[in-house]
Chain A
Amino acid sequence: MSQQTEFERIEAAALRRKRVVRTVTYVMLTLWALVVLFPFYWMVLTSLKSYSSYNSEYIPQLYTLSPTLQNYEDAFTQVPLAGYFANTLIFTLITTALMLAVTVLAAFAFARLEFRGKNLVFTLFLALMMIPNELVVITNFVTITELDLRNTFAGLILPSVTSVFYIYLLRENFAQIPDELYYAAKVDGTSDLKYLLKVMIPICRPTIVTITILKVIECWNSYVWPRLITDEEAYYLVSNGIQTIRESGFGRENIPAMMAAVVVISVPLIILFLVFRKKIMAGVARGGVKG
C-alpha cells in the first residue's frame, strides 16, 4: 500500500512539474512576443495621435481615443515620402531583376555546362562569399564617384547586383535535376537556352522565388551604400529618407508624423512576409543572413 502512495507521489510531482514548466514556458514566450510586438504597436499608435495630443502627453498614453490620419497626410505632403518610395521600388525591381538574370545564367553554366577550369572557377566563386562588403565598399565608392555615377540609379544598382551566395544556392538546386532530362531535350533538338527557360527554371521555381524575396528584403532595407552614393534627396531610398526625416523633416519634433512615415515604409515588407511566410522562413533557414 505504501508503495502505491509512493507512486502517486511521483506521479503527482511529475504532473506538477510539467504544469509549472509549461506555464513558465508560455509566460516567457509571451513576454518576448510582447517585446517584439510592442515597437510595432507603439509606432502605429503614435502615428494615429495628433501632434498636439502627443506633445501634451508628459506621461505616454498606451492608447488613444481620438485617432487621426492627419499624420499620414503630412507624411506624403510635407516630405517627399512618395518619392523615396518610388526610388526604392525602382531600385529594388531593377536590382532584383538583374540579380536574377546574372544568377540564373551563372548557375546554369556551373550546373549544366562543361568547360575547362570549371571546378577552379567555381571554387574561386565560393571563396568570394567570404569577402565582406565593408572591405570593398571603399573602392566601389571611389569607382562610382570617378565614373560620375553618384546620384544616379546606375550608381545605386550596379554594385548591389551580384550575390555569390545566391549563385551557389541555385547551382545546387539546378544540379539536382537529373541529367536524363537534359539529354532527352538535346535529342529533341532543344537549345541550351530554351532548356534553361522551359525546364530548369520551372523546376527550380521555389528556390528562385526564395532568392527573389530575400533580395527584395535586402534591397528594401539597404542603407549604407545608398547613403554613400546619394546626397540629392531626389535619389534617396526609404532608409535614407527616414534618416533625413529624423534629422530635418517635419520640423524635427513632429514625432507622430515621423511614425506615420515609418509605418508606411514598414508595411510593404510586413505584408510580403505575411504572404510568403513559409517561403521566407525556409529560405532564411537555408543560409540567408541579414544583409
Chain B
Amino acid sequence: MAYGQTQILRGIDVALPGGQTLALLGPSGCGKTTLLRLVAGLLAPTSGEIRIDGQMVAGPGLFLPPEKRGLGMVFQDYALWPHLTVAGNVAFPLEMAGVGRAERETRVAAALDRVGLAAMADRSPSALSGGQQQRVAIARAIVGEPRIVLFDEPLSNLDRELRETMVAELGALIRGLGLTAIYVTHDQSEALTLADQVAVMEAGQIAQLSAPEDLVEHPASPKVAEFLRLGAVLPLVRDGQGWSLGGRPFGALGGPDFARAEVLITPRALLLAEAGSATLTGEVMAVQYRDTGYAVTVRLEAPGAAPAQTVQISSDTRMRVGERVGLNIISERLRWFPARPEPTFAKE
C-alpha cells in the first residue's frame, strides 16, 4: 500500500481468529488507521491480499467495495448521520441488508437496549452527549451482526473518566457478543484491556504482534518498549568490569554477550536508594498523588541517552520536585536488546 511515492504500509501479515479482538496500537501516522480502512474497503491496497472468513476481499485484480464486506465500524468522530434519528441511524445497516421492517424494529430496539439508550430512539443524534453518541455508533456497528467490527479510535474524543467506563463496557460487549473486532487506538491501556492480540505499529510496519501480557513482559524491541512507556531504555557499552553508561560504570548486570546493548529498566527493576551509593541517580521531575501512594517521575542522569529517559516509580512518602534520588537495579528484571544503529534515539 502506498500513497504517491511513499509507501504507507509494508510487510503486514496478520491473521485474526474468529471471536478474537486485535488491537492496532501505535503513534499517529504509523499507518494503523490506513490498515483499518484497507480492511473496511475504504482504501484499496496496491499489492497484497485481504481475506475475511477465507473470502478474498482485496487482492490482485480483485476489490470488494465496503458495502459487500459485511462489516460494522465505529468511527473516531462517530459519523452519526445528523438527518436521521438515533433509531434511523441504527436501522440503516439492517435496511441495507434488506431486513424486513418488523424484524428491523426489534433488532434496533435490542441493540439500543444493549448500549442503554432504548429511551433515546427517537431523538436526533445532535441532542445526545458525546458518550451517548458513541454508544449509538456502537449500537449501529453491532446491530447487523457483522463478521468483523472495526473500531477507529472510538474513544479518543471522550474525556478520561468516560473513556475508562466505556472501555469496560466495550470489553463486556465484545466478549458478550463474541465479536471479531479490530480496534485501532493510540492508547495502550485501551489496547491492553480489550485485545486478545495487540499489533504495535511503527512507520507502516508491525513492530510486534503478541498477546497483551507478552507485550508487557517481552517487548520485542526498545522502540516497542519506549512506545508502551514500559520504562527507561539506556544504551550500554560492555567494558572490562561489565557494563557502563557514557563512561560511568554500571557493574556486572549479566546480560547478553554483546559489545553494545540497550537495556529496558522498568519500575519493577528499580529500588529506591541513597543517592550517594546507588547505581543510578536521577532528579524528581513530578510527583502525583495516587490511591496507592505517590507516583514519582524521575529523570535519570544517564549521559549518552538522549532524549532524557524517565521512569515512574511509586513511593510511600511524598518527595520534592528537584530532589535527587538514588536507584538500585534488580538485574534479573532487566530486559536486554541488541544496540540499535546510531543514533540511539528515535526520530519521532
A interacts with B = no
